[in-house]
Chain A
Amino acid sequence: MASDPDSELVAAVARGDHRAARHLVDRHLPRMVAVARRLLGNEAEAEDVAQEVFLRVWKHAAAWQPGAAKFETWMHRVAVNLCYDRLRRRREAPLEVAPEQVSEAPGADQMLEAEDRAAAVSRALADLPERQRAAITLCHFQEMTNIDAAAALEISVEALESLLARGRRALKQSLAGLDPRKPDGE
């Protein structure tokens, strides 16, 4: 396994080095916010999740053991699990926390009129089941390897491929009528 690019920074953070803490934040905060945004579709909640991820970093840096998984993979795992927790709470109490995105995909014509293409893709992504959305988010937007993404989601590589394939298929169907380039190849 390749050496973890964060191991020295994490060790410095564990010694109480605030400059190392700033470097770690600058390196990973945008990615933590991005993954939470994609999974939750809510800016305030995404920021809360990102802050909680770093709280755990500050608390557990001293106990971090390099070698088992990359530190960034561990951070993604924490972020994804925090998002899953929030999505589960939404399902249990749907009136308390309403996601910002529309839950039902509107028709293609309406979408073309109301939203630009990027917004339409975002909505199609938001409508995916959460595990498919998480898989696509980690592999496509976070550009993680299949092994790291599977580790972050705590599933096998085969299960990851299955989630990715089902997710991309659903996206193609959702976007088929919206995209002049027809992502489904029609």
Chain B
Amino acid sequence: MTLDRLTELLDAYGAASARWPAAERADALALIEKSPEAQALVAEATALDDALSGIPAVPVSPALRARILLDAERLLRPAPQPVVHAPGWRNWIAQIWPGPVWQPATAFALSIALGGVMGLWGVDAAVATVDDDLIALIGDDGLSAIDLDAFDPAEEG
């Protein structure tokens, strides 16, 4: 690092070493440490840095932030779930039911089981209901008096 190069660095980047090119920073600092002339150059550059740093930062308007987030709300959409193509019959099932297959399968099995149970229970209940209604209609005593043989289908017409 020479005084000429240090002068170029100070002219371009100012006195704050953090703004200097990283590759030259250590050499420049070493030169400054041992050279009073280099130290004078740094002091000179510091004045302009201070002047620039005296410009106050202005806060961002909340309305601007809100407008930008509204844009994001409008433009950003959740990415669609990737479609997995299963081979053969699994693909066919996946088209009918995109979720886990055990769900419709379980529902189907439960419906069959429930139907069977309800069917058996329903027959008994229906027979019991008919018997009870008939007995109520004719009474316990009259039941024996019905002569089924006397029933003539021809009279029905």
Contacts and interface: CB of A to CB of B under 8 A. Distances in A.
Nearest to B49: A140
B52 A181 contact: no
Chain B interface residue number, banded: 35 or more
A34 B59 CA distance: 9
Interface residues of A, number: 53
B8 A161 contact: yes
Interface in B38-73: 44, 47-52, 54-61, 64-65, 67-69, 71-73
B79 A15 contact: yes
A90 to B, nearest CB: 21
12 contacts: A16-B79, A25-B65, A30-B60, A34-B57, A121-B54, A139-B13, A140-B52, A161-B12, A164-B11, A179-B47, A179-B51, A183-B48
B72 to A, nearest CB: 4
Interface of B: 8, 11-14, 18-19, 21-22, 44, 47-52, 54-61, 64-65, 67-69, 71-73, 75-79
A22 B71 contact: no
B54 A117 contact: yes
A168 B72 contact: no
Contacts of A184: 44
A53 B48 CA distance: 31
A18 B72 contact: yes
A157 B54 CA distance: 27
A34 B49 CA distance: 18
Given A121-B52, A140-B14, A181-B47, A15 B64 contact: no
Given A18-B72, A58-B71, A121-B55, 14 more contacts: A14-B79, A29-B60, A29-B64, A30-B57, A51-B67, A59-B75, A61-B76, A125-B55, A139-B19, A145-B22, A172-B48, A175-B48, A183-B48, A185-B44
A54 B44 CA distance: 39
- Listed from nearest, the 10 A-B pairs whose CB atoms lie closest are A185-B44, A16-B78, A164-B12, A183-B48, A183-B47, A21-B72, A58-B75, A165-B11, A161-B12, A165-B12
Contacts of A118: 54-56
